Structure 1
């Protein structure tokens, strides 16, 4: 089971690094905002439809799906593991306290003179 967890961790790390690299390599939509407004007179180039997705955007989407799937798999494997980790509250004994036999007199509060 530990080898399976390690394999999922490796897939998770590589997919996260791939997402970082692919996002940094992509050309932003707002990079040519000045040329779009000045040259064509229309905002379709900046704010318009995405059109055909290129290779980098498709690879980013695939890497994101792999990353999310590996995160869910890690959560599932760790929640259903045979060994208990963390605090186990089922073994904690609950004790009830009884009032002590000594009586304490309350300390009177001093009246404040400021009004």
Structure 2
């Protein structure tokens, strides 16, 4: 969970410090043509690659944590002490019987 939290904070931080594509100098020359003014964007810089790696890590950790936490029932604990549960059921039934006997008209 600590690693998951660190990856999430790092991902948010990297996204916030990056510039958008429209923030380049080419954005002032025309609407939406900034990507073609100085050529196509290559493989990306360090921030883009780091963001992609952290995003993949975030999704992988999300799936792993979800898989580990799904369908965890304590069926073993429920079967360890049946005498206590049986005593509670017997007490409840006897109370109900006493209440119904009191309600029977004479």
For normalisation by structure 2, the TM-score amounts to: 0.56
- Structure 1 CA distance for aligned equivalents of residues 22 and 74 of structure 2: 51
Q: Which has the higher contact order (CA 8 A, sep 6+)?
A: 1
* Corresponding residue number in structure 2 for 1:73: 64
- Structure 1 residue runs of 4+, over 6 Å off? none
Q: TM-score, normalised by structure 1?
A: 0.52
1:1-115 mapped onto 2 (5 Å cutoff): 9-32=1-24, 33-34=27-28, 36-37=29-30, 43=34, 44-45=36-37, 49-83=40-74
Instruction: Give the superposed CA RMSD.
Output: 2.5
CA apart distance, 1:83: 2.8
Q: Structure 1 or 2: larger helix share? A: 2
CA distance in 2, matches of 1:83, 1:29: 51
Structure 2, unmatched stretches of 5+, are 76-106
Query: How many matched pairs?
Result: 71
What SS does the aligned partner of 2:30 have? helix
